[in-house]
Amino acid sequence: MQNLRYEAPETLADATALLSAEDGVARILAGGTDVIVQMHSDLIEPDLIVDVKNIPELTEIAKEGGAYRFGAAVSGKTLMLHEDFNKTWPGIMDGVQLLGSLQVRGRASVGGNLCNASPAADSVPPMIAAGAVASVIGPNGARDIPVEDIVTGPGRTCLEKGEIVVSFLLPERPPRSGDAYLRFTPRTEMDIAVVGAGVNLTLDGGGACTAARVALGAVAPTPLLVAEAADALIGTKVDDAAMEALAAAARAACNPIDDKRGTIEFRTKVAGVLARRAAAIALERAGAN
Amino acid sequence: MTKHHIRTTINGDETDVLVEPTQSLLDVLRDELHLTGTKEGCATGDCGACSVTIDGNLVCSCLVLGVEADGTEIETIEGMASGDELHPLQEKFIEHVALQCGICTPGLLIAAKHLLEENPDPTEEEVRYGLAGNLCRCTGYQKVVEAVLDAAQVMQK
């Protein structure tokens, strides 16, 4: 870090070229709320910092047909101020609103929260539940990666040298859809999830669930997409029996650590409870639109 | 290490400064520009003592690199009073004794000012959530919340 270089390119091509050409440690800087802390506490010693906030594709929020696309470096606060996005994806915003403090959300981005690759990142389970797909660009071209496939372990992602998460595409929302994210923490603010659960579902005109996605955070080395939990809801009227099946599937998917913030037993039990409660909120939101 | 020349407007004054890419904005404010009103508490974004606004956006200056400040407008605690005339929030912090050791006070004032700009008539709960990113180990927050609510009333008149 003695010879740290700071670059703020204005195009994706320049950014990937800089990252690809660096032989030492390179880090992408979006909001910096993880990278700068890691740098100043000597957890990482980068030779190159590439600030991506001057690249338009990383900082825009736009509609593509009925679908939303937002840049990976868009700050939590910018998303919070986007009224229609909040109305369309309230569950994603449940997670975004829990990122740090107001000060942290003024900088922190969903792309950074994902690429920091913490199993407890609050914006990631609702993004997985939403079916978000990351658009990634690198020296060998562009590829689309479902958000659930990005994180491969604590602090590790599937991104290759020179690759950047540019933006996220969220599918167009059918009518009668709702999503929600809940987490358990000892404090209401400024804390890290002990367990997090995101649920996204769609109902038909008769109130039966036609599609669902369920994701859990902080109960395994990576955020999890739990297909069995979604299957417990699909085809039901999301009644008590379906809710209990959902909770059981959520508990069964858990593979948590045992630490001072939560035991394995506690995290597993709470995963079922939160999945159920998040599903109830998602159901209510789906009924309201 | 290559130094970067940055130009920012700090509390209305155009400022030129040379910064190293490793320096946080907090380091630049305190060590290069000697604006020591902004405090370092944790240096990890947890305590809010180093709160400033950049282009109207409330941030922890410890979580911003100095080089990122190029071309921005920054407001720090030094810009809050007009000469000898204190800002109503500063007046009310004194009146309500909303501080003891004082290290969190500049950050709390900056965050409170930002809060009242966005929400001039907040509820007590909104004040508590709005200041959740600012830790104080002395006051127990009650007097801080009372001072902000009182200042909000004065500022609306």
Question: CB–CB of A6 and B48 under 8 A?
Answer: no
Task: Among B2, B44, B111, select the one facing A5 at the smallest CB separation.
Answer: B2
Per-residue pLDDT, A3: 85
Residue after which a domain boundary falls, among B25, B58, B79 = B79
Q: Are residues B72 and B114 in the same domain?
A: no
Structural domains in chain A, CATH included, are 177-287 (3.30.390.50)
Question: CB–CB of B48 and A51 under 8 A?
Answer: no
Q: Are residues B74 and B93 in the same domain?
A: no
Q: Are residues B92 and B125 in the same domain?
A: yes
pTM, two decimals, is 0.96
B52: domain CATH number is: 3.10.20.30
CA distance B94 to chain A (A): 24
Q: Are residues B66 and B32 in the same domain?
A: yes
Residue after which a domain boundary falls, among B79, B100, B127 = B79
Handedness of CA B105, B67, B59, A114 (dihedral sign): negative
What distance lies between CA B135 and its chain's CA centroid?
A: 13
DSSP E strands in chain B: the ranges are 4-10, 13-19, 51-54, 57-60, 73-75
Any idea how long chain B is? 157
Per-residue pLDDT, B21: 95
Domain coverage including residue B144: 88-156
Looking up tokens 């195009």, which residue turns up?
A11
Q: Are residues B26 and B51 in the same domain?
A: yes
Q: Are residues B142 and B106 in the same domain?
A: yes
Per-residue pLDDT, A1: 52
Whole-angstrom distance, CA of residue A178 vs CA of residue A175: 9
Banded model confidence at residue A2, pLDDT cuts 50, 70, 90: low
Looking up tokens 């109305």, which residue turns up?
A87
DSSP E strands in chain A: the ranges are 5-7, 26-29, 48-51, 61-64, 67-71, 133-138, 141-146, 151-153, 156-157, 164-170, 177-184, 195-203, 209-217, 224-225
* pLDDT single digits (tens) A72-125: 999 999 999 999 999 999 999 999 999 999 999 999 999 999 999 999 999 999
**Domain total for chain B?**
2
Q: Are residues B72 and B12 in the same domain?
A: yes
Q: Are residues B124 and B143 in the same domain?
A: yes
Q: Are residues B74 and B10 in the same domain?
A: yes
Q: Are residues B61 and B110 in the same domain?
A: no
Q: At A211, list the tokens.
A: 């599609």
Torsion, Cα of A219, A25, B65, A163 (10° steps): -70
Query: Please, is A192 exposed, middle or buried when counting C-beta atoms within 10 Å of its C-beta (0-12, 13-18, 19+)?
Result: middle
Q: Find which of B1, B2, B22 to mutate to test the A interface (most A CBs within 10 Å of its CB).
A: B22
> For chain B, what percent of residues have pLDDT higher than 70?
100
B97: domain CATH number is: 1.10.150.120
With CA atoms as reference, the chain A residue closest to B67 would be: A6
Q: What is the ipTM of this complex?
A: 0.94
With CA atoms as reference, the chain A residue closest to B59 would be: A103
Q: Are residues B124 and B75 in the same domain?
A: no
Question: CB–CB of A103 and B111 under 8 A?
Answer: yes
Stretch B70-82: mean pLDDT: 97
DSSP state of B20: -
Whole-angstrom distance, CA of residue B132 vs CA of residue A100: 9
Q: Are residues B43 and B72 in the same domain?
A: yes
